[in-house]
Amino acid sequence: MLKPRFNTRTQPGFVFIALFTFFALYLPIGALVAYSFNAAESLSRWDGFSFRWFVSAWENNAVQDAAIRSMIIAIWAAVLSTIAATMAALATTRTQPYRGLTFKYAVINQPLMVPEIVTAVALLIVFSRIKVWTGYSGLGYLILAHTAFCIPFAYLPIRARLESMDLTLERAAADLYATPWMTFRRVTLPLLRPAIIAGFMLAFVISLDDVVITEFVKSGGQDTLPTYMLGQLRRETTPEINAIATVFLALSTVLVMIFFFINKRKQ
């Protein structure tokens, strides 16, 4: 007689553990969203439903500048890191295994293994010397720092997709005298597009909400939205911070939904 297949749902305490996990994860987020609609100026007192703090954040020039700056940095960092990650994934998967390939994996994924504060301090030291030599102190440093940090996040889904792809179509294209570039453009890239979009969106979100690296690398007057929120928490906390965080949450949810529908349509 065959033994029944193992099913986690039938294990004792599964429902309780699952509900407790969801409760612990989403209760703080729910409280944050709820109090972003609070009419009171205090985070500890509820005075009724209001869009007051969303309007306040929308009309706040500092928030507007920080939001635009965050979007510029995140878009550039996501584009550059996705391009670099795609090239790195192709170089490390479309080749015969050789000595040193594992070391290259480790180097590419290094920002994931090293504490972010270490990466931030290292970038601060390097960029501070470059600022002295060049006199330039613009957003380019933040874009480069975010790009370097986001490359492994974009690399992982792209590499996973390449490793799971069947090489039959690529070999067939080569047999039909297609050049490597034509094979990539007509065969590999269309199959790889969902992973590239996933890598781009992941890199975009990681860059958009980064605090540690931004706090160390930025110059005066270059606050992003997360560092602006951190600065406000050090001074005076109002539900305006909740409203900004709620918008961040909504943006992340929209990005996930867009990626889901793109994948569904592709399938």
pLDDT digits (tens, 9 = 90+) for 59-96: 888 888 988 899 999 999 999 999 999 999 888 887 77
User: What are the boundaries of each domain within the chain?
Assistant: 16-266
Mean pLDDT in residue range 153-160:
89
CATH superfamily of 16-266: MetI-like (1.10.3720.10)
Q: Where are the alpha helices (DSSP H) in the chain?
A: 14-35, 52-59, 61-93, 101-108, 110-113, 116-134, 140-164, 168-175, 180-183, 189-208, 212-217, 225-235, 239-266
**Rounded Cα gap, residues 143 and 253, in angstroms:** 24
Say which range, 45-54, 114-123, 210-219, has the weakest mean pLDDT: 45-54
Q: Which range, 29-43, 66-80, 180-194, 246-260, has the best average confidence (pLDDT)? A: 66-80
Q: How far from the centroid of its chain's Cα atoms is residue 10's Cα?
A: 35
For residue 154, what are the contacts with CB-CB under 8 A and spacing of at least 6?
78, 81, 82, 84, 85, 86, 199, 200, 202, 203
**Rounded Cα gap, residues 68 and 45, in angstroms:** 32
pTM: 0.82
Core vs surface per residue 212-222: b (16+ CB within 10 A) or e: bbbbbbbeeeb
Q: What is the DSSP letter of 85?
A: H
243, exposed or middle or buried, with CB in 10 Å at 0-12, 13-18, 19+? Answer: buried
**Rounded Cα gap, residues 61 and 67, in angstroms:** 10
For residue 57, what are the contacts with CB-CB under 8 A and spacing of at least 6?
63, 240, 243, 244, 247
CA atoms in the 13 A half-sphere facing the CB of 92? 22
98, exposed or middle or buried, with CB in 10 Å at 0-12, 13-18, 19+? Answer: exposed
Stronger pLDDT, 118 or 11, i.e. the higher one: 118
Position 63: which residue type? V
Write out 197-222 in H/E/C secondary structure: HHHHHHHHHHHHCCCHHHHHHCCCCC
Residue 31: which pLDDT band, with cuts at 50, 70 and 90?
confident
Say which range, 3-12, 106-115, 144-153, has the weakest mean pLDDT: 3-12
**Rounded Cα gap, residues 183 and 32, in angstroms:** 49
Cα dihedral: 258, 262, 263, 265 (round 10):
140
Q: Which range, 91-95, 99-103, 113-117, 171-175, has the best average confidence (pLDDT)? A: 113-117
- Give percent of the chain with pLDDT exceeding 90: 15
